Amino acid sequence: MSNYTPKNILITGAAGFIASHVANRLVRSYPDYNIVVLDKLDYCSNLKNLSPSRSSPNFKFVKGDIGSADLVNYLLITENIDTIMHFAAQTHVDNSFGNSFEFTKNNIYGTHVLLEACKVTGQIRRFIHVSTDEVYGETDEDAVVGNHEASQLLPTNPYSATKAGAEMLVMAYARSYGLPVITTRGNNVYGPNQFPEKLIPKFILLALNGKPLPIHGDGSNVRSYLYCEDVAEAFEVVLHRGDVGHVYNIGTKKERRVIDVAKDISNLFNKDPDTSIQFVENRPFNDQRYFLDDQKLKNLGWSEKTTWEEGLKKTMEWYVNNPDWWGDVSGALLPHPRMLMMPGGVERNSDGAEKDDSGSSEISGNMKLNGMVVPASKISNSPSRSPYKFLIYGRTGWIGGLLSKLCEKQGIPYEYGKGRLEDRSQLLSDIHAVKPTHVFNAAGVTGRPNVDWCESHKTETIRTNVAGTLNLADVCKENGLLMMNFATGCIFEYDAAHPEGSGIGFKEEDTPNFTGSFYSKTKAMVEELLKEYPNVCTLRVRMPISSDLNNPRNFITKISRYNKVVNIPNSMTILDELLPISIEMAKRNLTGIWNFTNPGVVSHNEILEMYKKYINPEFKWSNFTLEEQAKVIVAPRSNNEMDASKLKKEFPELLSIKESLIKNVFEPNRKTSA
């Protein structure tokens, strides 16, 4: 057993959950230690977590990224750092399934930068690397002895793989350069201040708001949970008594099934678990059990002190008293969250507001805030900044224009793309200049005044609808960006398996069967190719309608100006209702193909009857057949019903087409007496 006394400690990721408890404990208990904390203030960090230490003379906060070699070297030298406690990491498994490259960047590359700085400066006496029990992989359900520190590493998800990779680098630097390293591998931790993408705070906040608790799979997965203060004490023990070159498991023998955790939280809120719990689709791979042998750490004098019942009660009381600690966390409370890695970093201030470094006022030098040092950055004077920024293509289009108005209404920063879709260099320039979190593609050739234009302009149609769209998807994929792609449902027509009036709609997985127009051909072609891009969310829009009845692109405006119309039931898209949903889908990082229509169908005559009832009682029209219609158009038109059940399941509040027409279009425009 060692007996080590540090002088100047650098704690990375210290505005996060576990590290903030460790930092506050060391600042409080060891006034002779100088504690420097480094954090880039990502979505799961919060300066308020460090509030107990901010006025202490032995505490200093630095905003920055461990991936910046210059900054890390500067801090090690100027602060005379002799000890590093490396907590900074992306840690949420669900996120790693959606944005695994960000985990490699933070968890492996960031660790490598730290190790190299330690090698170059040659002054580090302890490097404590914080890893996870997940590097061991799944423990057998019937195992009575947990994984010990020499057990094989068999990670099963992108998150744990990056943590195992980081461990290999740490081990290599210890052997090659004699770096004095200690590694810890811990069970799940819970308690106050934890960002609610994690199970226990998520369940508490959902229960607090009367919402169901989502269980992945059947809830039989077993986990071990340690209270945060016990874990902070474990790191205190490892810091002072841990032996260089050793690994220490931080764990507990007390295991719980996920479903039992949900039941315990339901009971704390006096809710019936049978009605509070909701079973949802499992993760792509969900380890059944993690079980650790923690005897080695106990031999250093550490032991778990907080019972499950006591810790859970303390945690619940904290979240009840601090429900707005993290601001808007609706995205984290989803069954399968895909929180974004904030470009440039988002800083949550002590008043709960957020600011990012994309503001307009430049501050030179270092800025001191309540004893904290923040390296020079652009700081916004805005009291609250959105964590999102959209890059929109299709400025002159109908949907592109409406998206900008929605962004303004929701306070989401956005910019229109300046580049042409077919020019890759221009798209890259847009992305590097704007630094978006999401890209919306509402650009495309539909033809003016209608799709007949595409029949005589085929190369132009291909260039934009196929080549340009694929180009944008590929550039977005290279830059780790989700692309929301507005496509069309006009790639299907009624057939024997989906007859008109049957209520059997085309589903997302069905193969397009309509090739009557060249426009539809290009849209079906590019949709098939986009399936190879996992970063694309394809939204099949049909016969779009909005409450702006003066807009010539509005389906209602069009048919109300025709002398004759066909009368066929079709699926349609009410933009007033569905465009806000597209923004929410972006926030949820949804991908794949979606039938982006209101449930059900409505015919031309039914719409015009509503028009007559709500707008113009004197309105008259007549019908003609498809055969008669064919004589006045160049290309046939698609008629179909889309199955919107997938969208309805994700957004249960979605109205049927007829309900939405009345609520969102005709009632707001009513000119007749009710």
Mean local confidence (pLDDT), 258-275: 92
Which fold would CATH assign to domain 390-546+571-603+640-659? Rossmann fold (3.40.50)
pLDDT of residue 385: 67
Token digits of residue 347: 């800083």
Tokens 């127009």 correspond to what residue?
A: 517
For residues 611 and 637, the model is more confident at: 611
Q: Which two tokens stand for residue 52?
A: 């107990």
Q: Does 383 score more than 50 pLDDT? A: no
Quote the pLDDT of residue 103: 83
Active-site option among 42, 65, 82, 133: 133
Band of pLDDT at residue 634, cut at 50, 70 and 90:
low
Angle, alpha carbons 359-360-363 (nearest 5°): 90
Q: What is the largest CA-CA distance in the chain?
A: 93
Q: How far apart are CA 60 and CA 373, in angstroms?
A: 7
What residues have CB less than 8 Å from 544, skipping those under 6 apart?
398, 399, 553, 554, 555, 572, 573, 575
Cα–Cα distance for residue pair 590/646, rounded to 1 Å: 12
Quickly state the pLDDT bin for 633 (edges 50, 70, 90): low
Average pLDDT value for the chain? 86
Question: In this predicted model, what pLDDT tens digit does every residue of 424-467 receive, in sequence order?
Answer: 999 999 999 999 999 999 987 665 556 667 777 888 888 878 99
What residues are paired with 184 via a beta bridge? 130, 248
Decide: helix, strand or coil at residue 301: coil
pLDDT at 289 over 80: no
Tell me, yes or no, if the two domains 8-192+224-255+291-305 and 390-546+571-603+640-659 fold the same way: yes
Question: Measured between alpha carbons, how far is 518 from 523 in angstroms, rounded to an integer?
Answer: 9
Helices 518-530 and 469-478 cross at an angle (nearest 10°) of: 20
Residues 576 and 657 sit within 8 Å (Cβ to Cβ): no
CB 202 within 8 A of CB 323: no
- Buried b / exposed e across 164-189, counting CB within 10 Å, b at 16+? bbbbebbbebbeeeebbbbbbbbbbb
Element housing 425 (H / E): helix 424-434
Query: In degrees, to the nearest 5, what angle opens at C-alpha 178 toward C-alphas 115 and 113?
Result: 5
Annotation says 109 is catalytic: no
At 8-21, the pLDDT tens digits run 999 999 999 999 99
Selecting among 159, 414, 416, 614, the annotated active-site residue is: 159
Amino acid letter, 251: G
Helix H or strand E segment including 232: helix 228-241
* Amino acid present at 294: D
Of 142-151, 154-163, 347-356, least confident by mean pLDDT is 347-356
Q: Which amino acid is at 274?
A: D
- The pLDDT value given to residue 138: 79
- Residues of the chain with pLDDT > 70: what percent? 87
Strand-pair partners of 278: 214
User: Which of the four CATH numbers 3.40.50.720, 3.40.50.10470, 3.20.20.80, 1.10.150.120 does domain 8-192+224-255+291-305 have?
Assistant: 3.40.50.720
Q: What pLDDT was estimated at residue 352?
A: 36
Q: Across residues 369-393, what is the average pLDDT?
A: 56
The string of pLDDT tens digits covering residues 172-185 is: 999 999 999 999 99
Strand extents, DSSP E, 460-574: 482-488, 536-541, 564-565
The pLDDT-based confidence of 109 (bands split at 50, 70, 90) is: very high
Q: Is the pLDDT of residue 55 over 70?
A: yes
Q: Which of 65, 94, 102, 134 is catalytic?
A: 134
Active site residue 293: no
Tens of pLDDT, residue by residue over 368-377, are 333 344 333 3
Q: Is 388 a catalytic residue?
A: no
Which two structure tokens, joined as six digits, stand for 559? Answer: 């048919």
Residue 381 has pLDDT above 90, yes or no: no
pLDDT digit string (tens) for 523-533? 899 999 999 99
* Comparison of pLDDT for 66 and 327, the residue scoring more: 66
pLDDT value, residue 99: 60
Give the residue extent of every domain in the chain: 8-192+224-255+291-305, 390-546+571-603+640-659
Query: Helices 158-177 and 110-121, interaxial angle, to 10°?
Result: 10
For the stretch 131-141, pLDDT in tens is 998 899 877 76
Region for residue 122 given its phi and psi (left: phi exceeds 0; alpha: psi -120 to 50; beta: otherwise): left
* Mean pLDDT score, 269-285: 83
Mean pLDDT score, 351-375: 35
